[in-house]
């Protein structure tokens, strides 16, 4: 307990399944947490679910440079600084062959999943540096290691943030800021319900069974499974770990 005592964390995608689970774990370990997302009602609900005065929220669009800076400024104003950034906001895009993929939809996925973390890092690095260092975690995916048909935008975006992480890890090491990715396999969240339906319209359960057959541990991850890895990377337990890709995939890339 208290592995994050005195630390301040900003979590984008904070109203979603992984974001909420991470928020709960960070607060339980002593951190002050600012959840950022687009949906204010969902953010209020997430804070209520966390159930602590150590969690608050900020409505923000991660594709906006000014909103990313406002997130960091808000955390500094409320809590005195920033030690941890979890760049977790993401969208799945469409399940469509490349030849049919809408260009604007592709750009939207890139804006949220790649530009969003880039702008988050750009705003957070100076703030974390002022605190003498800290941790940045980017949510990638098993799709950041493997390919997959009909999800080109999502796969491309999740590969891209691994490259971003590796570059940032080397830039930030002299500031004692560690940067890593966590790469989940399917997680029991809204996004997976959307993808299952996209892969097999009207037969989502069949799509899920097929995906489960490719995971040696035989199940999807729960948000809490991912939160525990992110807690480790946020804490001093991982003080010598940077530039790493953490697979949380039930053995699917073994």
Active site residues: 154
Q: Contact at 8 Å (CB) between 90 and 62?
A: no
- Per DSSP, the three-state class of 52 is coil
Q: Contact at 8 Å (CB) between 42 and 15?
A: yes
Helices and strands (DSSP H and E) totals, the chain: 9, 7
Q: Contact at 8 Å (CB) between 19 and 46?
A: yes
- Per DSSP, the three-state class of 16 is coil
Q: What region does 245 belong to: left with phi over 0, alpha with psi -120 to 50, or beta?
A: beta
Q: Contact at 8 Å (CB) between 233 and 169?
A: no
Q: Contact at 8 Å (CB) between 138 and 165?
A: yes
Tokens of 237: 């337990």
Q: What are phi and psi of 32, to 5 degrees?
A: -90, 135
Strand order in the sheet with 177-184: 55-59, 32-37, 8-12, 84-87, 134-139, 177-184, 245-248
């Amino acid at each position: 307990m208290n592995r994050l005592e005195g630390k301040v964390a900003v979590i984008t995608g904070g109203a979603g399944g992984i974001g909420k689970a991470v928020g709960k774990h960070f607060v339980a370990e002593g951190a002050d947490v600012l959840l950022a997302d687009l949906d204010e009602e969902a953010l209020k609900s997430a804070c209520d679910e966390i159930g602590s005065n150590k969690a608050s929220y900020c409505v923000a669009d991660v594709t906006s440079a000014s909103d990313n800076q406002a997130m960091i400024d808000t955390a500094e104003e409320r809590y005195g600084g920033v030690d941890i950034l979890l760049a977790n906001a993401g969208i799945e895009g469409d399940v469509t062959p490349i030849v049919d993929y809408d260009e604007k939809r592709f750009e939207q996925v890139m804006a949220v999943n790649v530009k969003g973390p880039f702008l988050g890092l750009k705003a957070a690095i100076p703030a974390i540096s002022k605190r003498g260092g800290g941790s940045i975690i980017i949510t990638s995916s098993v799709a950041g290691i493997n390919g997959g048909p009909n999800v080109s935008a999502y796969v491309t975006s999740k590969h891209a943030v691994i490259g971003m992480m590796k570059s940032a890890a080397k830039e930030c090491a002299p500031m004692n800021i560690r940067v890593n990715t966590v790469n989940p396999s399917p997680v029991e969240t809204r996004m997976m319900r959307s993808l299952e339906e996209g892969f097999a319209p009207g037969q989502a359960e069949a799509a899920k069974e097929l995906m489960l057959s490719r995971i040696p541990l035989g199940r999807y991850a729960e948000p809490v499974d991912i939160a525990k890895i992110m807690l480790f990377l946020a804490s001093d337990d991982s003080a010598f770990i940077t530039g790493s890709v953490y697979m949380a995939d039930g053995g699917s890339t073994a």
